[in-house]
Amino acid sequence: MKEILIEVKNLKKHFRLSNQETVHAVDGVSFAIRKGEIIGLVGESGCGKTTTGRLILRLIEPDEGEILYEKENILSFSFREMMSLRRKMQIIFQDPFSSLDPRKSVENLIAQPLKIHNFGNKKKIKERTIFLMDKVGLTREMSTKYTHELDGGRCQRIGIARALALDPVFIVCDEPVSALDVSIQAQILNLIEGLSKELELTYLFISHDLSVVRRLSHRIMVMYLGLIVEVASSKELFGNPFHPYSKALLSAVPSLKLSKQRKRIILKGDVPTPINVGSGCRFFPRCDQALSICSHIDPLSKEIKPNHYVACHLYT
Amino acid sequence: MSKKRYKPLLKYVYKRVFQMIPLLLLISFVVFIMLSFAPGDPALLLIGPIGATPEKINEVRESLGLNKPLLVRYFDFLKNLLFHGDLGRSFQSKRPVTQEIARTLPVSIRLALNAMIISTFFAIILGVMSAIKQYSFLDNITKIIVLTGVSMPIFWLGLVMIVIFSVYLGLFPSSGWGDWRHMFLPSVTLAAYPLAMLARLTRSTMLEVIRKDYIRTARSKGSSEFSVIYKHALRNALIPVITMTGLQFGLLISGSILTETVFAIPGIGRLTVQAIYIRDYPIIQGTILVSAAIFAVVNLLVDISYTFLDPRVKY
Amino acid sequence: MFWKRFKRDRAAVIGLGILVFIICLSILGPIFAPYDPAEQSLAKRRQLPNWENIFGRDAFGRDIFSRILFGARITLIAGLSVVISAMIIGTILGTFSGYWGGLVDILIMRAMDFILAFPTFFLAILIVAMLGPSLFNAIIAVTITTIPQYARVVRGATLSLKGLLYIEAAKAMGASDIRIIIEHIIPNLIGPIIVLASVGLGGAVIMVAALGFLGMGAQPPTAEWGLMLSEGRSYITSNPHMTMIPGIFLVIFVLGSNLVGDGLRDVLDPRLK
């Protein structure tokens, strides 16, 4: 098994809305990502997955916890150390249009990280830019175009090229295809997958869409209201989900195999908000298999099967 | 006003008044420091070029208390102000500053009020009329008035007024302060710029409001044109105008300096200017403090008036 | 691209014509001025306009026409200095305040509020009193009173730009705060700033002239229009041309710049209408 590239320990991030209300966006998340793997992070909107992605890159500062990159805690990095770290850890955003400066041409957008990190003279930068454009499937004629002249798929390719500019090792993909038409989604996903193999990249693939995550990820983490409730390999999770929430999520995934048509589990109750969560399991209000213990004790994560973890009292 | 809105509003007022005090203190301190760096020796200016020996200068400085260290002087000033309501004495006239201000402030306020009434009255008329009858003759006249009003330096306008109405037509006195004839030209001069700004603002707000949907609704309900204009449009259009009126006050205070100088009116603006010429520090200190205080109070009143006018605003 | 829209606004074009005229006056004027603006002639004092001196002479016998020409340059430079300085300083303060927030924001905004707590002209004459009367100090005084407007507008714009996703993307790439401010935030501010500047030019010119009028700005024998106004004031009954003419030119200048300012505003920021 490859070595651990990134390890996250007890990561917490709270947002204070007002004097009484705090959003516990990420409330004690721990996981490890190995070199070369594609690990999916799924959950509904508001569960904290996007925040987690941002925290790993230190785009937001965590309130508690550690983030280790190759065994070093990046939270104690100086500005310069972070600069060199940014060459290795990158991010692809969800909205291809608003994540790209509309005033810059495609060329300049891709070259921006190169310029920031003093990659070299104009010639070297231009060469690298063309190389990157080729890699993501953009033609040379597009270098002088602007984002408002292109479609979502092409813009997302720009975002990918930009992320690849400095030869990163790890990329956070924050819902990279959620804003794209279904027909284009497949293309971009293929591209992302291909690049991972070709360039030996490690991905944290964030999405609310399980079907998208399924084919790409080696392992999947399921997140709910700021906590990870289940972690398993892709095959295991889809074959044998344990946590009631995971089961509900999976039931909503359409399956082509008629025989495997799952029974739709409809969760009762409104979508909760991660504001002022009390003690006890977060999922308790919506869980149809809840035990009495679930209402006042937060379940801890346990390894049910090899490399399959669940945080649920049903399995303790 | 409902009891529910009364309490938080009162709290807000207390908060604002409370904040004003450190602000005014800071202003008085900063003004004090600034004046201490000013070139020119008040003692020298008082004595005049003849008879200005170093001993005499020092003697006068002693009597004015200028030889004491800066902070001591400031704390003396503060002490006098806070405990005795005393702003010191004018270097030149030796009269209490409070007296001088009491003499001049009412004049300036009268002038400002005149100007405000004139400008608000005509601005609303012009603004509303030109909005209703867009592109008409009146509208064009209004636009021209606005443009010229905004572009004319107030001191020049005053001089023009004097040349036309005083010198050539002999209708009004060119300076001084006494009856309505003395007040006419300066009030009109001071009103010109605010009138222009307000007319423009009223016109554009009215235009905006007239186009709004709820006006169409009121019209379709069959209300007469007049009631539509009056009840619905004007009410809402007046809100930014009220704001402007408050802001106007700042312009009027500033403009008073120039108007009073041009028309030789014994107001607080002219007092300040004269005081600066002769480096009469206590007067300068006093006038600036008082005008800043009045300015702050007017701003607060404007903010409060918002609660009455715009039900969406809550404190 | 904006030019086409601008051209359609006739008033704005007239305004631009006026400004260009004034600019020409200020550049070419001093070269072609028939007389030395400081040259006095006791015999010809207060002469009314005639063929020899188009605008007549002032209280010291100096040719008013030449003085107007030299004054154009002074007025223009003074106005531009105020507006450009306030723009630069205001932008720096506004972006720092908006982008970094926190203590920096509080301090800067408090300072701006402090400046705004004074009635504008009072503050200007106070500053000049502190620094001493001169054209340069008048420019400084007016600049200081103008900065808060720019700082506030820039701060507001920065706050709304700050949350844009591509700014976060730039941070992810390792861009420093300064780089982000320069490359992403400021280009988006140019519109509102230009509008403020062009609309504010007239006001700045008037304020500097007002200080000159009070004797707190340009000092004799400088041919500044505001100063010329006050110098001619004593003879307003007998020889009004000495006061009226510089005043008319001031009005023309301010009118021109206001027209251009309104035109620019309609082009760059139509919703402000």
Chain B CB within 8 Å of residue C238 CB: no
Distance CA A62, CA A74 (A): 11
Assess if residue A176 is contained within a domain: yes
Residues 144 to 173 of C: which have CB under 8 A from any A CB? Answer: 164-166, 168-173
Using a CB-CB cut-off of 8 Å, the residues of chain C touching A103 are 187
Half-sphere exposure of B315 (CA within 13 A, CB side): 18
Assess if residue A172 is contained within a domain: yes
Domain harbouring A189, CATH code: 3.40.50.300
- pLDDT averaged over chain B? 82
What is the domain class of B104-309 according to CATH? mainly alpha
Using a CB-CB cut-off of 8 Å, the residues of chain C touching B277 are 215
Q: Which residue of C has its CA nearest to A54?
A: C172
Chain B CB within 8 Å of residue C144 CB: no
Whether the CB-CB separation of B175 and B264 falls below 8 Å is answered with: yes
Assess if residue A33 is contained within a domain: yes
Q: State the residue range of the domain holding A24.
A: 4-88+168-238
Q: DSSP class of residue A97? A: T
C173 and A116: CB-CB below 8 Å?
A: yes
Axis crossing angle, helix B235-263 with helix B97-132, rounded to the nearest 10: 130
Q: How much is the pLDDT for B272?
A: 93
Other beta carbons less than 10 A from residue A200's beta carbon: 10
Backbone angles phi, psi at C231, to 5 degrees: -65, -35
B151 and C258: CB-CB below 8 Å?
A: yes
Shortest Cα distance, chain B CAs vs residue C178, angstroms: 32
Q: How much is the pLDDT for C272?
A: 47
What's the number of domains chain A is made of? 1
Q: Which residue of A has its CA nearest to C180?
A: A116
C63 in helix, strand or coil? strand
Whether the CB-CB separation of A129 and A107 falls below 8 Å is answered with: yes
Assess if residue A16 is contained within a domain: yes
Using a CB-CB cut-off of 8 Å, the residues of chain A touching C175 are 112, 116
- Integer-rounded Cα Rg, in Å, for chain B is 24
Distance of alpha carbon B191 from the chain centroid: 11
> What is the residue type of B196?
A
Across the B/C interface, how many CB contacts are shorter than 8 Å?
114
Q: Per the omega criterion (within 30 degrees of 0), is the bond before C221 cis?
A: yes
- Please report, to the nearest 10 degrees, the dihedral formed by the alpha carbons of residues A42, A48, A54, A60 taken in order: -170
pLDDT in tens, C189-203: 888 898 889 889 999
C240 and B167: CB-CB below 8 Å?
A: yes
B151 and C121: CB-CB below 8 Å?
A: no
Assess if residue A251 is contained within a domain: no
Q: Which residue of C has its CA nearest to B157?
A: C247
Strand A170-174 relative to strand A38-42, pairing: unpaired
Structure tokens at C21: 């005229």
- Chains touching chain A, criterion 3+ CB pairs below 8 Å: C
A95 and C165: CB-CB below 8 Å?
A: yes
Q: Which residue of C has its CA nearest to B27?
A: C114
Closest CB to B155 among C229, C236, C244: C229
Chain B CB within 8 Å of residue C213 CB: yes
Closest CB to A116 among C165, C168, C179: C179
- Chains touching chain C, criterion 3+ CB pairs below 8 Å: A, B
Chain C CB within 8 Å of residue B214 CB: no
Strand A38-42 relative to strand A227-233, pairing: unpaired
Whether the CB-CB separation of C154 and C108 falls below 8 Å is answered with: no
Assess if residue A205 is contained within a domain: yes
Task: Residue C74: name the closest of C226, C190, C257, C272 by CA.
Answer: C226
Task: Supply the pTM of this predicted model.
Answer: 0.83
Using a CB-CB cut-off of 8 Å, the residues of chain B touching C132 are 38-40
Whether the CB-CB separation of C76 and C272 falls below 8 Å is answered with: no
Other beta carbons less than 10 A from residue C173's beta carbon: 24
B35 and C129: CB-CB below 8 Å?
A: yes
pLDDT in tens, A74-111: 888 888 888 889 999 999 999 989 899 988 899 999 99
Assess if residue A300 is contained within a domain: no
- Chains touching chain B, criterion 3+ CB pairs below 8 Å: C
Chain C CB within 8 Å of residue B21 CB: no
Distance CA B69, CA B55 (A): 19
**Exposed, middle or buried: residue A245 (CB in 10 Å: 0-12, 13-18, 19+)?**
buried
Q: How much is the pLDDT for C85?
A: 95
pLDDT beneath 50: ranges in chain C: 272-273
Residues 5 to 64 of C: which have CB under 8 A from any B CB? Answer: none
Paired residues of A232 in beta bridges: A220
Q: How much is the pLDDT for C263?
A: 82
Distance CA A172, CA A187 (A): 18
- Please report, to the nearest 10 degrees, the dihedral formed by the alpha carbons of residues C108, C114, C116, C118 taken in order: -160
- Please report, to the nearest 10 degrees, the dihedral formed by the alpha carbons of residues A295, A296, A301, A303 taken in order: -70
Question: Which residue matches tokens 């002479």?
Answer: C57
Chain C CB within 8 Å of residue B292 CB: yes
Sheet holding A22-34, edge to edge: A22-34, A4-16, A64-69, A72-73
Whether the CB-CB separation of A6 and A177 falls below 8 Å is answered with: no
Closest CB to C168 among A59, A82, A117: A59
CA A121-A124-A127 angle, 5° bins: 145
Using a CB-CB cut-off of 8 Å, the residues of chain C touching A91 are 169, 172
Shortest Cα distance, chain A CAs vs residue C170, angstroms: 8
Along the 315 residues of chain B, how does pLDDT read in single tens digits?
566 667 777 888 888 888 888 888 899 899 988 888 888 777 777 777 777 788 878 888 888 777 788 888 888 888 888 888 788 888 888 888 888 899 999 999 999 999 999 998 888 888 878 877 777 777 788 888 888 888 899 999 999 998 888 877 878 887 888 888 888 899 999 999 999 988 888 888 777 777 765 556 666 666 555 566 566 666 666 777 777 777 788 888 888 999 999 999 999 999 999 999 888 888 998 999 999 999 888 888 887 777 666 666 655
Backbone angles phi, psi at B292, to 5 degrees: -65, -40
Residues 242 to 301 of A: which have CB under 8 A from any C CB? Answer: none
Q: Mark whether B and C touch (3+ CB pairs within 8 Å).
A: yes
Task: Give the residue ranges of DSSP H helices in chain B.
Answer: 3-36, 42-47, 54-64, 70-84, 97-132, 137-151, 154-161, 180-211, 213-220, 225-227, 235-263, 268-277, 281-309
Q: How much is the pLDDT for A157?
A: 93
Using a CB-CB cut-off of 8 Å, the residues of chain C touching B155 are 210, 213, 226, 229
Using a CB-CB cut-off of 8 Å, the residues of chain A touching C168 are 59, 93, 99
Other beta carbons less than 10 A from residue A3's beta carbon: 9
pLDDT beneath 70: ranges in chain A: 1, 253-278, 316
Q: Which residue of C has its CA nearest to A91?
A: C172
